[in-house]
Amino acid sequence: MNHRNLRASLLFLASLLVACGADKKQTDSTVDVAADGAGSGSGDTSTEGSADASADTTPEPEPTYAESFRIVRIDASASVPTQLSVHACAGLYNRREGGSIFVQTDPDVQQANIDGAALQDETWLPALGLTAAETVNTTDFLTSCLADFGGCVRYSYASQHEILPAILTVAAAEGVPPLADESPLTCASPVVDATTVFADKTTQLLSTRYVYENYLHDTTGLAMLNPGYDRNAADKANPPLIDDMPTALVDFVFARKLFVIFLVNGCVDRNPEENLLSAIVNESGWPTPLGVFGYNDSWLAGGYVYEAQTRCLPSANMGAIPTRTSNLSFFDTRRPPITDASELPQTAPEAITYDPAKRYVAFVIGDGDNVRYIMSTRRDWLQQRLDRCRGAEPKCPPLTWTISPHLPDIAPDVLHWYYESAASTGSDYFMLPPSGYQYSYPGAMPAAEQEKFAAATERVAAVLGTHSTIHWEWFADWARSVNNFLPRYAHAGSQIHGIFPVNVPYLLEAFPAWPAEKKYQILTGADGGKAVLFRSQSWRGVDNSDDFHPSPQRMSDRLAALPAGTVTWVYMTSDGGLSLENFYAALIDLLPPTVQLVSTDAAADLALQASGN
Q: Is residue 310 part of a domain?
A: yes
Q: Which of 58-62, 116-120, 388-392, 536-540 has the lowest mean pLDDT?
A: 116-120
Q: Is residue 58 part of a domain?
A: no
Q: Is residue 94 part of a domain?
A: yes
Q: Is residue 19 part of a domain?
A: no
In the prediction, which pLDDT does 120 show? 54
Q: What is the CATH number of the domain that holds 414?
A: 3.20.20.490
Q: Mind listing the pLDDT tens digit for each residue in 438-482?
A: 999 999 999 999 999 999 999 999 999 999 999 999 999 999 999
How many whole angstroms from its chain centre is CA 524? 30
Please identify, among 311, 333, 355, the residue that sits at the C-terminal boundary of a domain.
Answer: 333
The whole-angstrom separation of Cα 330 and Cα 97 is 10
Alpha-carbon separation of residue 225 from 247, 248, 483 (angstroms)? 9, 8, 35
Q: Mind listing the pLDDT tens digit for each residue in 418-448?
A: 999 999 999 999 999 999 999 999 999 999 9
For the cut 70, the answer to whether the pLDDT of residue 108 exceeds it is no
**Residues 169, 301 share a domain:** yes
**Residues 156, 77 share a domain:** yes
Describe the strand order of the beta sheet including 259-261 as a list of residue ranges. 259-261, 222-224, 290-294, 318-322
The whole-angstrom separation of Cα 537 and Cα 362 is 11
Share of the chain above pLDDT 90, in %: 79
**Residues 402, 277 share a domain:** no
Q: Is residue 12 part of a domain?
A: no
Please identify, among 269, 299, 333, the residue that sits at the C-terminal boundary of a domain.
Answer: 333
**Residues 207, 166 share a domain:** yes
Please identify, among 317, 333, 349, the residue that sits at the C-terminal boundary of a domain.
Answer: 333
Q: Is residue 128 part of a domain?
A: yes
**Residues 439, 315 share a domain:** no
For the cut 70, the answer to whether the pLDDT of residue 45 exceeds it is no
Residue 319 belongs to domain spanning: 70-333
How many whole angstroms from its chain centre is CA 7? 28
In the prediction, which pLDDT does 18 show? 41
**Residues 106, 181 share a domain:** yes
Secondary structure (3-state) at 401: strand
Q: How many CA atoms lie within 13 A of 32 on its CB side?
A: 15
Amino acid at 576: G
Q: How many domains does the chain have?
A: 2
Q: Mind listing the pLDDT tens digit for each residue in 280-298?
A: 999 999 999 999 999 999 9
In the prediction, which pLDDT does 121 show? 59
In the prediction, which pLDDT does 390 show? 85
Peptide bond into 239 cis (omega under 30): no
The whole-angstrom separation of Cα 341 and Cα 459 is 11
**Residues 152, 74 share a domain:** yes
How many Cβ atoms from other residues are within 10 Å of residue 20's Cβ? 19
**Residues 384, 310 share a domain:** no
Handedness of CA 228, 232, 238, 240 (dihedral sign): negative
The whole-angstrom separation of Cα 485 and Cα 487 is 6
**Main-chain phi, psi angles of 17, to 5 degrees:** -65, -40
Q: Mind listing the pLDDT tens digit for each residue in 131-187?
A: 999 999 999 999 999 999 999 999 999 999 999 999 999 999 999 999 999 999 999
For the cut 60, the answer to whether the pLDDT of residue 415 exceeds it is yes
**Residues 595, 475 share a domain:** yes
Pairing of the two strands 530-534 and 520-524: antiparallel
The whole-angstrom separation of Cα 14 and Cα 475 is 13
The whole-angstrom separation of Cα 271 and Cα 223 is 20
Q: Mind listing the pLDDT tens digit for each residue in 329-349?
A: 999 999 999 999 999 999 999
**Residues 362, 323 share a domain:** no
The residue-averaged pLDDT of 255-268 equals 98
**Residues 399, 254 share a domain:** no
In the prediction, which pLDDT does 57 show? 59
For 271-319, give the DSSP string.
-HHHHHHHHHHHHS---SSEEEEE----SBSSSBTTTT-TTTSTT--EE
Rg value, the chain, Cα = 24
Q: Is residue 427 part of a domain?
A: yes
- Residue 254 pLDDT level (bands cut at 50, 70, 90): very high
**Residues 305, 183 share a domain:** yes
Please list the alpha-helical segments (H only) found in 400-477: 407-410, 412-425, 447-464
Q: Is residue 6 part of a domain?
A: no
